[in-house]
Amino acid sequence: MSQTTAAETVDVFGPDSMLRRLVNEARWGLAVTRATVLEAAHPQIGTALIGNSTFVTHPWRRLRNTLVSTQRILDPDQRVRTREAARLNRLHARISGTDPQGRRYDAMDAEARAWVVATLFESAVTMYRLSGESLDGPAMEQLYAEFRALLALIEGDSDRLPATLQEFWPYFDDMIEHRLESTEAVRVILYRLFANVPAPPLLRSHPAVWAAGRAVAGPVAAAITIASLPESFCRRVALPDLPGARALMHGAYLTIAVATRLLPDGWVQVGSIMSLLDPDHAGGSGPWESVRRKADQAAAMLRLITPAPDETNQATRSADRFFAEILDQTGDGYLAWPDLAAMAREIAARLDLDEQDEERLFNAFAVWWRELQTNLDADGDGRVTRQEYAASAACLPSSGLVKIADVLFDVTDVDDDQTIDAQEYQTLFRTAFQRDLTDKGDSYSRSAFLRQFLSFMTGQQHSIAYNSLLSQ
The reply to whether 334 and 386 lie within a common domain is yes
447 in any annotated domain: yes
The reply to whether 338 and 386 lie within a common domain is yes
44 in any annotated domain: yes
253 in any annotated domain: no
Write the CA distances from 281 to 153, 285, 369, 424, integer angstroms: 26, 9, 31, 16
pLDDT digits (tens, 9 = 90+) for 392-435: 776 776 789 999 999 999 999 999 999 999 889 988 987 767 65
How far apart are the C-alpha atoms of 466 and 449, rounded to whole Å? 11
The reply to whether 336 and 232 lie within a common domain is no
Within 8 A by CB and 6+ apart from 287, the residues are 264, 266, 267, 272
Coarse DSSP helix, strand, coil percentages of the chain, rounded to the nearest 5 percent: 65, 5, 30
The reply to whether 191 and 300 lie within a common domain is no
The reply to whether 276 and 334 lie within a common domain is no
The reply to whether 293 and 324 lie within a common domain is no
Write the CA distances from 441 to 111, 313, 433, integer angstroms: 53, 31, 11
120 in any annotated domain: yes
150 in any annotated domain: yes
Please tell me whether the overall predicted TM-score, pTM, comes out greater than 0.85 for this model.
no
> How many domains are there within the chain?
3
How far apart are the C-alpha atoms of 142 and 122, rounded to whole Å? 13
162 in any annotated domain: yes
Instruction: Note down the domain range covering 89.
Output: 6-245
The reply to whether 94 and 241 lie within a common domain is yes
**Radius of gyration of the CA atoms of the chain, in A:** 23
The reply to whether 134 and 93 lie within a common domain is yes
Q: What is the CATH number of the domain that holds 462?
A: 1.10.238.10
310 in any annotated domain: no
Neighbours of 135 (CB within 10 A): 16
The reply to whether 209 and 129 lie within a common domain is yes
258 in any annotated domain: no
In tens digits, the chain (472 residues) has pLDDT values of 444 444 444 468 888 899 998 888 888 888 999 999 999 999 999 999 888 888 778 887 887 788 788 888 998 888 999 999 999 999 999 999 988 888 899 999 999 999 999 999 999 999 999 999 889 999 999 999 999 999 999 999 999 999 999 999 999 999 999 999 999 999 999 998 888 877 776 677 777 887 888 888 889 999 999 999 999 999 999 999 889 999 999 999 999 888 878 877 666 676 666 665 565 554 444 554 555 455 555 544 444 444 444 443 444 546 778 888 889 998 888 999 999 999 999 999 889 999 999 999 999 999 999 999 988 888 888 899 988 888 877 677 678 999 999 999 999 999 999 999 988 998 898 776 765 544 445 678 999 999 889 888 887 788 888 888 887 6
For residue 421, the one-letter residue type is: D
pLDDT digits (tens, 9 = 90+) for 15-58: 889 999 888 888 888 899 999 999 999 999 999 988 888 877 88
The reply to whether 203 and 144 lie within a common domain is yes
The reply to whether 85 and 207 lie within a common domain is yes
Element at 33 (helix H, strand E) = helix 28-40
The reply to whether 270 and 371 lie within a common domain is no
**Among the listed residues 250, 269, 254, 266, the one whose alpha carbon sits nearest the alpha carbon of residue 22:** 269
